[in-house]
Amino acid sequence: MSQKHLIKKYNIPGPRYTSYPTVPFWDNNTFSLKQWKHSVKQVFSQSNVAEGISLYIHLPFCESLCTFCGCNKRITKRHEVESPYITAILKEWDLYCELFDEKPIIKELHLGGGTPTFFSPLNLNRLINGITRKAILADNYEFSFEGHPNNTTEAHLLTLFNLGFKRVSFGVQDYNDAVQKAIHRIQPFKNVKRVTEMARTIGYTSVGHDIIFGLPFQTVDHIRETIAKTRQLKPDRIAFYSYAHTPWIKGNGQRGFNENNLPKAEEKRLQYEIGKVLLADAGYSEIGMDHFALPNDSLYTAMTNQKLHRNFMGYTASKTKMMIGLGVSSISDSWYGFSQNVKGIEEYYHLLEYNIIPVFRGHILNEEDLVIRQHILNLMCHYKTSWSNNNLTFKSLDSTINKLSEMLKDELVVIENNTLKITKQGKPFVRNVCMAFDVLLQEKQPQKQLFSMTI
Residue 252's pLDDT is 46
146 is in an annotated binding site: yes
Domain end, chosen from 299, 326, 353, is at: 326
Between CA 72 and CA 69 the distance in angstroms is: 9
**Paired sense of beta strands 331-333 and 413-416, if any:** unpaired
**Which phi and psi (to 5°) does residue 25 adopt?**
-110, 15
Q: Is 106 inside any structural domain?
A: yes
173 is in an annotated binding site: yes
Residue 448's pLDDT is 62
Q: Is 346 inside any structural domain?
A: no
Task: Please indicate, yes or no, whether residues 228 and 314 belong to a single structural domain of this protein.
Answer: yes
Q: Is 110 inside any structural domain?
A: yes
244 is in an annotated binding site: yes
Helix (H) or strand (E) holding 325: strand 323-326
Between CA 420 and CA 150 the distance in angstroms is: 45
35 is in an annotated binding site: no
68 is in an annotated binding site: yes
113 is in an annotated binding site: yes
Domain end, chosen from 326, 353, 381, is at: 326
Query: What CATH number corresponds to the domain at position 101?
Result: 3.80.30.20
Alpha carbon of 140 to those of 79, 121, 309, 317: distances in Å? 34, 24, 16, 11
Burial of 214 (0-12, 13-18, 19+ CB in 10 A): buried
Domain limits at 114? 26-326
70 is in an annotated binding site: yes
Task: Please indicate, yes or no, whether residues 166 and 241 belong to a single structural domain of this protein.
Answer: yes
Alpha carbon of 397 to those of 172, 176, 387, 388, 454: distances in Å? 42, 47, 9, 12, 23
Q: Is 33 inside any structural domain?
A: yes
Task: Please indicate, yes or no, whether residues 402 and 304 belong to a single structural domain of this protein.
Answer: no
Work out whether the CA dihedral 130, 135, 139, 141 comes out positive or negative: negative
Strand segments (E) across 148-267: 165-173, 206-213, 237-242
Residue 248's pLDDT is 46
Between CA 149 and CA 235 the distance in angstroms is: 14
Domain end, chosen from 269, 297, 326, is at: 326
114 is in an annotated binding site: yes
Q: Is 358 inside any structural domain?
A: no
Between CA 140 and CA 236 the distance in angstroms is: 19
Q: Is 336 inside any structural domain?
A: no
Q: Which residue in 49, 130, 142 sits closest to 97, CA to CA?
A: 130
Beta carbons of 160 and 123 less than 8 angstroms apart? no
Each residue's pLDDT expressed in tens, for the chain with a length of 455 residues: 677 788 888 888 889 999 999 999 999 999 999 999 999 999 998 888 889 999 999 999 998 888 777 788 888 999 999 999 999 999 999 999 999 999 999 999 999 999 999 999 999 999 999 999 999 999 999 999 999 999 999 999 999 999 999 999 999 999 999 999 999 899 999 999 999 999 999 999 999 999 999 999 999 999 999 999 999 999 999 999 888 766 645 544 545 577 788 998 889 889 999 999 999 999 999 998 889 999 999 999 999 999 999 998 889 988 899 999 999 999 999 999 999 999 999 999 999 999 999 999 999 999 999 999 999 999 999 999 999 988 899 999 999 999 999 999 999 999 999 999 999 999 989 999 999 999 999 887 765 666 777 77
331 is in an annotated binding site: yes
Between CA 213 and CA 327 the distance in angstroms is: 29
Task: Please indicate, yes or no, whether residues 38 and 122 belong to a single structural domain of this protein.
Answer: yes
Task: Please indicate, yes or no, whether residues 317 and 405 belong to a single structural domain of this protein.
Answer: no
Number of domains in the chain: 2
